[in-house]
Amino acid sequence: MDEAHRVSGRIGKPWAVVHDNTRIPSLRRLYVTATPRLWQLGDEDEAGAPGELVASMDDDPDGPFGGRAFTLTLSEAIDRGICAPYEVVCVDATGTALQAAQLLGAEGRSAKVRGARFAALQTALVKASSEENFRRTLVFHHVVKEAEAFAAGLPDIAAHLHAADRSCNRPRSGWPVSLAGFPLGQWAADARRFYARGEMDADRVAQLEKLGMVWSHFDVAWEEGLAAARGWAAENCHLLAPLSATFQGAAVASG
C-alpha cells in the first residue's frame, strides 16, 4: 500500500479498515510511504475519550505497521539515479508598476496587465535559467493557448535580454535558452501534435516537410510492413508467414 501514512492515526478514519484482518484478510501487508507519521496518545485518549489512536508508524514488529523492512533516503535515491536532484529557486518580480497594476481590481485583469505579467514571468524564467544553468523547465498554465504563447515567446525574450546584458548567456550553440538541453525528439513530437490538431501554420509545415519530416510513425510503419508483406507473399504465394519470417531484412509475421 502506497501513501501508507494516510491510514495512520485515529480509528475513525475510513481507510484504517485496512489494518483489520477480520474485514480484509491478508497473510502479509506491505506499507510504503515517504512521510512516516508517528503518533502518541494524549491525555484525553488515555482517559478513554473517543478517537483512540489505531496506528502509529513506529519501527515496531508488534505494531499495526510492523517492523521497518527497508529505508531509502532521498540522497541515496538521487545517487542511484532514481530521483532527480532538485533545488527550490524562488523568483521575485520586483517591478513596482506591475505590482501596482495587479491591485487595480477589475482593471488588474485587463489584457494589458495580463500581458505585462506574462512578459515579466518570461523574463524571470530566462534570467533564472541563465543564472542557475537550467537544462530544461516545466511551466504550468491554466490555458493551453497561454502555455503555447509562453513557449513561443521565450526565444525573443532571451535574445532581447542577451542583447541588453551579455551576462545573460545564451547556449554556446546559439540556440535560444528555451531550447537549451531540450531533446530534439520531444520538439519533433510536439510539432507532430500541433500538426495533427491542425494548429500549425502552412509555412512551418512546408519548412518541416522540406527537411523530410515524418508526420506519423504509424503510417510509415504500415507502409514498410505492407511492402515487406507484398514481397514475401510474392515469393511464397501466401501470407501465412511464421513469426521469424523476414523480407529483405524487414520483419514479416502473420501473428
Angle at 195 between CA 115 and CA 154, to 5 degrees: 30
Burial of 140 (0-12, 13-18, 19+ CB in 10 A): exposed
Regions of the chain where pLDDT drops below 70: 11-12, 41-54, 95-109, 165-183, 186, 253-255
- 204 and 227: one domain? no
Is 157 exposed, middle or buried (CB count within 10 Å of its CB: 0-12, 13-18, 19+)? buried
Q: What residues make up the domain containing 237?
A: 217-251
pLDDT for 46 equals: 47
What would the pLDDT profile of 71-118 be if each residue is shown by its tens digit? 988 888 888 878 877 777 777 777 666 666 656 666 666 777 777 777
Which of the listed residues 65, 86, 107 is the one where a domain comes to its end? 86
* Residue where one domain finishes, among candidates 57, 86, 115: 86
In this structure, the number of other CB atoms found within 10 A of the CB of residue 246 comes to: 13
Output the pLDDT for position 31: 92
| Count of the separate structural domains present in the chain | 4
Residue 15 covered by a domain: yes
Residue 150 lies in a domain: yes
pLDDT at site 195: 86
Set of cell numbers at residue 162: 542577451
Together in a domain, 168 and 107 = yes
* Single-letter amino acid code for the residue at 42: G
Q: Is 91 inside any structural domain?
A: no
pLDDT at residue 247, as a whole number? 78
- Residue 39 burial (10 A CB sphere; 0-12, 13-18, 19+): middle
Rounded to 5 degrees, φ, ψ at 12 are -75, -10
For position 225, what pLDDT does the model report? 80
Considering the domain architecture, whether residues 154 and 196 belong to the same structural domain is answered as no
* HSE (side-chain half, CA atoms, 13 Å) at 146: 13
